[in-house]
Structure 1
Amino acid sequence: MGNYHLLEIEFENNGQKQTITPVLLQDDRDLILVDCGYPGFIPQLEEAANRYGLTLASITKLIVTHHDMDHIGSLAALKRAYPQISIVAPELEAPYIEGKSKSLRLEQAESTLSVLPDEAKSQAEQFIRYLQSIEPIPVDQTVSNDERLPWCDGIDVIHTPGHMPGHISLYLPASKTLIAGDVVVIEHGKLNIANPQFTMDLPEAVRSVQRLLDYEIDQLICYHGGLFHGDVKQALRQLLREYAS
Structure 2
Amino acid sequence: MKEEMNYGTDYKFIPVTSVRNGVGTEIRPDLFCYTTQIVNICLVGNLKSDEFVLVDAGMPKSANEIISVIEERFGTNSRPKAVILTHGHFDHVGGVIELVEHWGIPVYAHPLEIPFLTGLKNYPEPDPTVEGGLVAKMSPTFPNEPINLGSHVQTLPPNGTVPHMPGFKWIHTPGHSPGHVSLFRESDGALIAGDAFATVKQEYMYKVFSQELEISGPPRYLTTDWGAAKQSVVKLESLKPSVAVTGHGLPMSGELLTTNLRKLVDEFDRIAVPDYGKYVN
Q: Same fold (TM over 0.5)?
A: yes
Question: CA distance change for structure 1 residues 37 and 150 in 2, over 3 Å: closer, same or farther?
Answer: closer
1:103 Cα deviation from its structure 2 partner: 2.0
User: How far, CA to CA, are the matches of 2:163 and 2:112 in structure 1?
Assistant: 21
Question: CA distance change for structure 1 residues 157 and 53 in 2, over 3 Å: closer, same or farther?
Answer: closer
1:221 Cα deviation from its structure 2 partner: 0.4
Structure 1 equivalent of residue 64 of structure 2: 43
Structure with greater helix percent: 1
Is the Cα contact below 8 Å between 1:186 and 1:222 reproduced in 2? yes
Question: CA distance change for structure 1 residues 79 and 92 in 2, over 3 Å: closer, same or farther?
Answer: same
Structure 2 equivalent of residue 184 of structure 1: 197
User: How far, CA to CA, are the matches of 1:71 and 1:55 in structure 2?
Assistant: 24
Question: What is the aligned residue count?
Answer: 219
Q: Does 2:181 match 1:168?
A: yes
Q: Does 2:168 match 1:148?
A: no
Choose from 33, 50, 56 the match for 1:6. Answer: 33
SS where residue 69 of structure 1 aligns? coil
Choose from 125, 131, 142 the match for 1:108. Answer: 125
- Any gaps of 5 or more consecutive residues in structure 2? 1-27, 129-137, 201-211, 271-281
Structure 2 equivalent of residue 21 of structure 1: 40
- Any gaps of 5 or more consecutive residues in structure 1? 12-18, 114-122
Measured against aligned partners, the alpha-carbon deviations of 1:18-72 in whole angstroms (never above 9, x if no partner) come to x321001114552200000122111221233344244574211100111100011
Choose from 82, 92, 96 the match for 1:61. Answer: 82
Name the amino acid aligned to 1:20: V
SS where residue 52 of structure 1 aligns? helix
Structure 2 equivalent of residue 118 of structure 1: none
User: How far, CA to CA, are the matches of 2:76 and 2:186 in structure 1?
Assistant: 26
Name the amino acid aligned to 1:52: R
Question: CA distance change for structure 1 residues 241 and 55 in 2, over 3 Å: closer, same or farther?
Answer: farther
Is the Cα contact below 8 Å between 1:145 and 1:159 reproduced in 2? no
1:207 Cα deviation from its structure 2 partner: 1.0
SS where residue 108 of structure 2 aligns? strand
1:137 Cα deviation from its structure 2 partner: 0.5
Structure with greater strand percent: 1
1:170 Cα deviation from its structure 2 partner: 0.4
Choose from 231, 235, 240 the match for 2:260. Answer: 235
Structure 1 equivalent of residue 246 of structure 2: 222
Q: Does 2:148 match 1:136?
A: yes
Measured against aligned partners, the alpha-carbon deviations of 1:117-153 in whole angstroms (never above 9, x if no partner) come to xxxxxx777x26x444x64112442126761236333
Structure 1 equivalent of residue 12 of structure 2: none
Name the amino acid aligned to 1:108: E
User: How far, CA to CA, are the matches of 2:77 and 2:53 in structure 1?
Assistant: 10
User: How far, CA to CA, are the matches of 1:69 and 1:176 in structure 2?
Assistant: 28
Is the Cα contact below 8 Å between 2:82 and 2:164 reproduced in 1? no
Question: CA distance change for structure 1 residues 24 and 218 in 2, over 3 Å: closer, same or farther?
Answer: same
Structure 2 equivalent of residue 16 of structure 1: none
Q: Please, what TM-score do these two structures have when normalized by structure 1? A: 0.79
